[in-house]
Amino acid sequence: MANVLIIGAGGVGSVVAHKCAMNSNIFTTIMLASRTQSKCDRIAAEIQEMHGVTIQTAQVDADVVADVVSLIQSFNPVLVINVALPYQDLPIMDACLEAGVHYMDTANYEPKDVAKFEYSWQWAYKERFEKAGLMALLGCGFDPGATQVFTAYANKHHFDRMDYLDIVDCNAGNHGKAFATNFNPEINIREITQPGRYWENGEWIEIPAMSIHKPIDYPEIGPRESYVLYHEELESLVKNFPTLKRARFWMTFGQAYLTHLEVLQNVGMTRIDPVKFNGMDIVPLEFLKAVLPAPDTLGENYTGQTSIGCQIKGVKDGADRTYYIWNNCDHAETYREVRGQAVSYTTGVPAMIGAMLILTGVWLKPGVWNCEELDPDPFIEQMNKQGLPVNDRVDVPLPHEY
C-alpha cells in the first residue's frame, strides 16, 4: 500500500521497524535510516531472520534538512516516522513540508541547550501543513500517545464531563543493571530532573522535582511509590478537554534509581551546559549517556511488567463516575516478539498504529494534531490486535483519592 521512512534506529525505532514489517500488507516498502547505519543494518538482518521481510537502510543526519529532503526524494515515502530524538522534530518537519510527505513523532520538540519541552514550536506549523494538504501527528507513542487516546475514549464513551485526570505510569520491570534508563538517557534525565508541574483550576502548579509522591496500586503489580512529574501530554489534554479541573502525571521510580540520580545531579553529571575538559567542550549529560547502557541493550534479561493508564473522575447522566483504562505489558514477552523491552515496545507499537491509521486514511487529516483530537476507537481496536491489550473498568473506587 505505501512506502514508509523510519528515522532513528534506537530502542523505539527497532520496535517500529519490526512492527511495520509484521504488517507488510500496509507498509509495503520500509526504509530505516539513522545517524549510524550499522544499527539500521543490524535491525534489518534481525527483521529478515524473524519475520522474513526485507527492509532498506540508509545513513542520515536528521539535523540537516537538505539531507533528509534528498533521502525522502530518493526513497519516495508517503510518511516519515520520526523516532530519533526530540531535537530532530523541527528539521524533519521542515524536510517533510519541503518534500511534500506526511510526518509523525513520539516526543515533542526540545532545544538542545534548554531543557524545555512544549508544543508551541510544533503547533506553529499547523497552517503550513494544512495549506500543503499534509498531516503531522505529534506524540504518538504511549505517553504521550496512547494515554491521550485513552482520555479521548473515556470522554467519548463514558463521560458527559471529565473533571479529574491522573495518568499513572509504572515500570515494575527488572533489567538487572545498577542504573539504566529505559529510553534515551539524555532525554529521560532532562525530563525527570525538571521541576514537577500539574494543572489545577486553570493554572499550572510548579513543585520541586519528585516532591509529591505516594504509593499507587497497579493492576497485577501491586502498590508502587509514584511521583508527580510534568509530562508533555498534559499541555494538549488540558487544552482539548477544558472541563478538567485537575490533570496530573505519576511515574514510579525505585529507591536505587533515585539515589543514583541524586548523586549524579549532586556531582554535576546531569548538567546540559558545556564544561572544558582537556581543552575540549563537553556536555556532562551527553558524556553520561555515552557510559550508560543503551535502551536497546536492556531487553535480553528484562523481567516484569509495565502498567500505564488513565484514571478519570467526572459525571455521566447526572451521576458521579470513575473510570480506569490501562494496558499492562511484559518485558520478556516483548523481547521474544521483537527483541525489544516493554518501554520501547509500548512506544513503538502505538507509533506503528498511528502510521497505519494515517496510511489507511482513517486518521488522515491535513494540519498538526495531537492524538486526542482524532477518533480513539480505531486506535484502541488496533492496540488490542497489535500486542497492547486494553483493559477498562467503570465505577470502581480508584486506587488513590482525588
What residues contact residue 267 under an 8 Å CB cut-off, 6+ apart? none
Site track for ligand NDP across 64-93, x = CB under 6 A: -------------------xxxx-x-----
Q: State yes or no: residue 12 binds ligand NDP (CB under 6 A).
A: yes
Q: State yes or no: residue 119 binds ligand NDP (CB under 6 A).
A: no
Closer to ligand NDP by Cβ: residue 1 or 294: 294
| Contacting ligand NDP within 303-342 (CB under 6 A) | none
Distance from C-alpha of 309 to C-alpha of 40, rounded to nearest angstrom? 32
Closer to ligand NDP by Cβ: residue 295 or 376: 295
Task: Encode 385-401 in three state secondary structure.
Answer: HCCCCCEEEECCCCCCC
Find, among 82, 235, 86, the residue nearest to 167 by Cα.
235
Find, among 183, 10, 189, the residue nearest to 115 by Cα.
189
Find, among 18, 252, 248, 67, the residue nearest to 151 by Cα.
248
Closer to ligand NDP by Cβ: residue 132 or 192: 192
Among 48, 61, 174, 262, binds ligand NDP (CB under 6 A): 61
Among 36, 211, 297, 391, binds ligand NDP (CB under 6 A): 36
Closer to ligand NDP by Cβ: residue 132 or 349: 349
Q: State yes or no: residue 116 binds ligand NDP (CB under 6 A).
A: no
- 196: β partners: 207
- Would you tell me how many other CB atoms lie within 10 Å of the CB of residue 277? 10
Closer to ligand NDP by Cβ: residue 163 or 286: 286
Name the closest residue to ligand NDP (Cβ): 10
Judged by CB under 6 A, the number of residues near ligand NDP is 35
- 82: β partners: 7, 105
What residues contact residue 361 under an 8 Å CB cut-off, 6+ apart? none
Among 2, 46, 58, 63, binds ligand NDP (CB under 6 A): 63
Among 119, 142, 159, 324, binds ligand NDP (CB under 6 A): 142
Closer to ligand NDP by Cβ: residue 295 or 387: 295
Contact between residue 106 and residue 347 where contact means Cβ atoms under 8 Å apart: yes
Shortest distance, position 324 Cβ to ligand NDP, whole Å: 19
Q: State yes or no: residue 6 binds ligand NDP (CB under 6 A).
A: no
Q: State yes or no: residue 38 binds ligand NDP (CB under 6 A).
A: no
Shortest distance, position 295 Cβ to ligand NDP, whole Å: 4
How do strand 203-207 and strand 367-370 relate by DSSP bridges?
A: unpaired
Among 110, 143, 166, 235, binds ligand NDP (CB under 6 A): 143
Closer to ligand NDP by Cβ: residue 158 or 307: 307
Distance from C-alpha of 296 to C-alpha of 90, rounded to nearest angstrom? 25
Among 31, 62, 136, 210, binds ligand NDP (CB under 6 A): 62
Distances (CA, A) of 265 to 8, 16, 268, 297, 342: 28, 33, 5, 24, 27
Q: State yes or no: residue 104 binds ligand NDP (CB under 6 A).
A: no
Shortest distance, position 84 Cβ to ligand NDP, whole Å: 4
Shortest distance, position 53 Cβ to ligand NDP, whole Å: 20
Q: State yes or no: residue 387 binds ligand NDP (CB under 6 A).
A: no
Q: State yes or no: residue 107 binds ligand NDP (CB under 6 A).
A: yes
Q: State yes or no: residue 106 binds ligand NDP (CB under 6 A).
A: yes
Phi, psi of 269 (to 5 degrees): -75, -10
Q: State yes or no: residue 148 binds ligand NDP (CB under 6 A).
A: no
Query: Applying CB under 6 A, which part among 3-11, 248-256, 259-267, 271-279 lies near ligand NDP?
Result: 3-11
Among 23, 122, 171, 184, binds ligand NDP (CB under 6 A): 184
Distance from C-alpha of 356 to C-alpha of 243, rounded to nearest angstrom? 31
Q: Which amino acid is at 78?
A: V
Q: State yes or no: residue 20 binds ligand NDP (CB under 6 A).
A: no
Residue ranges in contact with ligand NDP by CB under 6 A = 7-13, 34-36, 39, 60-63, 83-86, 88, 106-107, 139, 141-145, 183-184, 187, 294-296, 347
